[in-house]
Amino acid sequence: MTNIHSSAAEMAAALSKNETTSVELTKLHLDQISKVDGKVHAFLHVDTEGALAQAAEVDAKRASGEQISPLAGVPLALKDVLTQKGIPTTAGSKILEGWRPPYDSTVVSKLKAAGVVILGKTNMDEFAMGSSTENSAYGTTQNPWDLSRIPGGSGGGSAAALASFQAPLAIGSDTGGSIRQPAALTGTVGVKPTYGGVSRYGVIAYSSSLDQIGPCARTVLDTALLHEVIAGHDERDSTSINAPVPQVVAAAKKLDVKGMKIGVIKELNGAGFQAGVIERFNESLDLLVANGAEIVEVSCPNFEYALAAYYLIAPSEASSNLARFDSMRYGLRVGDDGKRGAEEVMSITREAGFGKEVKRRIILGTYALSSGYYDAFYGSAQKVRTLVKQDFDAAFQMADVLVSPVTPTTAFKIGEKSDDPVAMYLSDIATIPVNMAGIGGMSLPCGLAAEDGLPVGFQIMSPVMQDDRMYRVGATLEAALVSKWGKPILANVPDLGGK
Amino acid sequence: MTLDYAAAVEKYEPTLGLEVHVELNTKSKMFCSCATEFGAQPNTQTCPVCLGLPGALPVVNAKAIESTILIGLALNCSIAPYSRFARKNYFYPDMPKNFQTSQYDEPICVNGYLDVEIETDEGQKTFRVDIERVHMEEDTGKSLHVGGSTGRIHGAEYSLLDYNRAGIPLVEIVTRIVPGTGKYAPQVARAYVTELRDILRSLGVSDVKMEQGSLRCDANVSLAPVGSGKLGTRSETKNVNSLRSVERAVSGEIERQANRLENGERIIQETRHFLEESGATRPGRSKEQAEDYRYFPEPDLVPVTPDAKWIEELRTRIPEKPSLRRKRLQAEWNCPDKEMESLVNAELLDVVEETIKLGAEPTRARTWWLGEISRLANEKEVAPTSLVNAVQVAEVISLIVSGELTDKLARQVVEGVIAGEGSPAQVIEKRGLKVVSDDSALMSAIEAAIAAQPDTAERVRGGNIPAAGALIGAVMKATGGAADAAKVRELLLKHLGQG
């Protein structure tokens, strides 16, 4: 019997065997949301009516014998960074309060076409800038493993929804780790596909050259199933790659890594990482070796500059991307008293509507792009980006996939780093290089850290448009871990529903 | 003291620079599929992309790239194998994203030239205008500032915005400085814009209507003392909406600057607004403190990398330079200057050439198009070419030459063709408009005329040949103009013993 703890694949199987209906499944999840989300605060908006209507439609199609896609009828939580026609979309910012987009993002169109039921919009750091959801204008999401801790960010809402069984599937966006870091800190699976693998049309841009939409779930196979629903070329996004989608579902079913070379990145394994994180990471390497993989050590010397370069490139692009929020056409408007001019109203609205971190990055980016500073800041950062790519190219000459821990530490306490932006930025030290190079990266849970009992994430990176490789290794490792632990790691998460 | 133009150019050497913005006539906008038609209801030709809604992404219009390359080739430019778009960041309500997507330091066409001819005191002289760059960008929306005295946003009560124009493809053609024109600077400027307009029209890439703003010219002018070899401070005159205004704006600006210099005042680097009524300019935005647009490569677009083979294919499509073509045709047709000018102004060159190519005699072809057909078109307030085509006119002319139609009958045939009665042959058939050349048919008409006017006939018999006119007139009237007047005359005089 399927329940909210089942995987998406199991739910899909039950639906196709008519053991349950999408409406029933959707109601189960809506119930769970009303039970636990008061504690977790994963959702910014729950679309009860829309979700049930969509579920009923899928059930009707199935009943009429119409061909429907594998995930049809399975519920999903959508990060509030994607537009969904008529549904409030804020990107976690006050400045978009009340805005209902007149159009669907391409990913939402694909989800709807596949019959995936969209439960609602999940919380996030404002404009995806942050690693804890503490920068959301609508309150922090709590980590289901320990409600006094952050769930990671920016996609903490999506990850927490999965970990608290409010949805079996979720969509995230990853600019510097916003899918993978929350996955790691909540014991769930998150994938940042190759840049250009999934359309960005309808994704509220933070940093266009780094943003990538990806699938989140509780198992590698579920993530792969969702990946294939949302991926593919989109003529409305000219940076989307016009090539066949990697066969990630097949790869996730292979469960075999014999002869594969796994490259451990020297620079992302040791100093600065929590002991319990390294311990679980090394244990996972042993499991891969036991399954026939070969471990090689690779060096990426330029990664040490990646974080600094990221905090020039991303804010630079953000300063331009966020310029459109000026109160003239949509969203918040403050100070329009009929006397003030447009420029002043723009300024007052932006002062009131943007949070501290967003302002910090707009100012940083504006400065980095200014004439006289451009070459030293934005220009140098782009050169570092090229060097990071070259490091990856060289490393992939020696290994099929590269691995590292996802984060230096397990989930930290709410408020612990919110006054220290640099400490917060360091949470993404292992995830940022992947965005800089545009390659694929996956986070999957590899156990609980001995010192605090919190989940640890294992990162697998694969070359451009070879996303299937990380799924193959990820699924194999996941199976080995489940058999080692006797159950999925997420089975250890506290039950919030009963209390 | 005041310097007039002649005195101004005697003392100061002007240097020109011209920036021309051309709206391309593509069916859709630069970065989205919205229509581009002029004059539609405000804000009806918009979508998430050209409104800059959160999440929307641009995609480059391939047709716009093609048109721009054609322009570059026609202006003898090199076509860059790799060029990019950049973002020009500044806040203004008519720009939905608060940045303009424009090419910047990597334009698609560079290093061209255009030779223009003007009439000088020493006869025709050619000036070479070097082209620095031809690049693509998007137009902004249109604002209408209501209330206030200046018509500008400052002081306005409110502003109306129309985003139909936002995102229309624009091509900017920038010359290098044009030195050495001396007192002919205004004529060179006008000749350049005229030649450019004709080239753009011959390429079919733009409507080139200055009064509708599909071709806009900014004229940069600076002065330095004659023989100093220096460059003075320049002003940039905008809002120049006709060819005549180009000339007036340049000469007016030369005069204004010369008088300032003469009075010991300095020239302020600024934009100036041309005033159509007075021919003067008024100051606009100061450019003394360069605005910082924080340009950086547009991360939402991939670089433009036209295939070398495609460029060569486009090169074969570049028509003969319009000024050279005019000269050639004028010589071939042995056409007077005035008439040639009329043909060009009436945009009839192409159709007349086609008519002649179909075998029509050049003088007749010109006369028909400029005369009868233009007259009818004027009456109906449409373009002559929308009434009849070259094939029909050539057919009518050949029937006149063969004597099957008189001019008068031919006009009726043309009328019939315009009325949709079919081809000239069909109209002749239906309306029975053949020249009556059957002698016996004519003879009976002649005899009838003589019987009706016996006195006149008697005078002709008596040797008063001019008196025959009245009889010929009567015959022509009786045959409804279907007779050849010369033939009637011949038969009549013979009959009355005067042949």
pLDDT tens-digit readout, B254-281: 999 999 999 999 999 999 999 888 888 8
The pLDDT value recorded for residue B499 is 67
pLDDT of A489 strictly over 70: yes
Residue in chain A nearest B155 by alpha carbon: A341
Nearest C-alpha neighbor of B291 from the set B270, B273, B274: B270
The pLDDT value recorded for residue B327 is 92
Closest Cβ–Cβ partner in A96, A209, A366 for B54: A96
The pLDDT value recorded for residue B247 is 96
The pLDDT value recorded for residue A21 is 97
pLDDT tens-digit readout, B67-120: 999 999 999 999 999 999 999 999 988 889 999 999 999 999 999 999 999 999
B-interface mutation test, from A328, A339, A364, most B Cβ less than 10 A away: A328
Residue A88: inside a domain, yes or no?
A: yes
Q: Counting one residue from A and one from B, how many pairs have CB atoms under 8 Å apart?
A: 103
Residues B366 and B295 reside in one and the same domain: no
Residue B469: inside a domain, yes or no?
A: yes
The nearest CA of chain B is from the CA of A245 a distance in Å of 20
- B54–A207 CB contact, under 8 Å: no
pLDDT of A269 strictly over 90: no
pLDDT of B152 strictly over 60: yes
Residues of A in contact with B48 (CB under 8 A): 101-103
- CA count, 13 A, side-chain hemisphere, A235: 4
pLDDT band at B436 (very low <50, low <70, confident <90, very high): low
Q: Which domain holds residue B239?
A: 5-310
The pLDDT value recorded for residue B151 is 67
The nearest CA of chain A is from the CA of B284 a distance in Å of 19
Q: Which of B431, B447, B478 is the last residue of a domain?
A: B431
Sign of the torsion formed by the C-alpha atoms of B478, B482, B488 and B489: positive
**Domains in chain A: how many in total?**
1
The token pair that represents A365 in the structure block: 């980016």
Residue A322: inside a domain, yes or no?
A: no
Burial degree of A470 (CB within 10 A; 0-12, 13-18, 19+): buried
pLDDT of B464 strictly over 90: no
> Residues A302, A308, A313, CA angle at the centre, nearest 5°?
105
B-interface mutation test, from A236, A310, A333, most B Cβ less than 10 A away: A236
Closest Cβ–Cβ partner in A200, A320, A343 for B99: A320
Interfacial residues of A (vs B; Cβ cutoff 8 Å): 82-83, 89, 91, 96, 99, 101-103, 105, 200-205, 207-209, 235-239, 316-317, 319-320, 323-326, 328-330, 341-343, 346, 366, 369-371, 374, 378
Residues B293 and B329 reside in one and the same domain: no
**Domains in chain B: how many in total?**
3
Residues B330 and B349 reside in one and the same domain: yes
Of A169 and B434, the structure prediction assigns the larger pLDDT to A169
Residue in chain A nearest B50 by alpha carbon: A324
pLDDT tens-digit readout, A410-446: 999 999 998 888 888 888 999 999 999 999 999 999 9
The pLDDT value recorded for residue B1 is 60
Q: List CB contacts of B172: < 8 A, sequence separation 6 or more.
A: B19, B20, B21, B22, B102, B133, B134, B135, B136, B137
> Residues A459, A463, A464, CA angle at the centre, nearest 5°?
120
Residues B238 and B327 reside in one and the same domain: no
Question: So what's the ipTM on this one?
Answer: 0.95
Residue A340: inside a domain, yes or no?
A: no
The amino acid present at A64, given as its one-letter code, is: S
Q: What mean pLDDT, rounded, does chain A reach? A: 96
Residues B300 and B366 reside in one and the same domain: no
Residues B337 and B454 reside in one and the same domain: no
pLDDT tens-digit readout, B297-308: 999 999 999 999
Closest Cβ–Cβ partner in A237, A317, A320 for B57: A237
Least confident stretch, B137-151, B265-279, B357-371:
B137-151
The token pair that represents A290 in the structure block: 């036991």
Closest Cβ–Cβ partner in B97, B154, B301 for A323: B97
Phi, psi of A456 (to 5 degrees): -120, 140
pLDDT of A498 strictly over 60: no
Residue B317: inside a domain, yes or no?
A: no
pLDDT of A183 strictly over 60: yes
The pLDDT value recorded for residue A499 is 44
The pLDDT value recorded for residue B495 is 80
Residue B145: inside a domain, yes or no?
A: yes
Mean pLDDT of B206-232: 93
The share of chain B scoring above pLDDT 90, in percent, equals: 67
Residues of B in contact with A347 (CB under 8 A): none
Least confident stretch, A234-238, A321-325, A345-349, B426-430:
B426-430
Residue A446: inside a domain, yes or no?
A: yes
Catalytic residues of A: 79, 154, 178
The share of chain A scoring above pLDDT 90, in percent, equals: 93
Residues 298-357 of B with CB under 8 A from A: 299-302
The pLDDT value recorded for residue B150 is 67
pLDDT tens-digit readout, A283-309: 999 999 999 999 999 999 999 999 999
Residues B336 and B369 reside in one and the same domain: yes
- A208–B96 CB contact, under 8 Å: no
- B153–A201 CB contact, under 8 Å: no
The nearest CA of chain A is from the CA of B88 a distance in Å of 9
Q: What CATH number is given to the structural domain containing A169?
A: 3.90.1300.10
Closest Cβ–Cβ partner in A105, A326, A370 for B55: A105
**Distance between CA atoms of residues B116 and B192, nearest Å:** 6
Residue A467: inside a domain, yes or no?
A: yes
Least confident stretch, A235-249, A442-456, B442-456:
B442-456
pLDDT of A270 strictly over 80: no
Residue B205: inside a domain, yes or no?
A: yes
Mean pLDDT of B117-136: 95
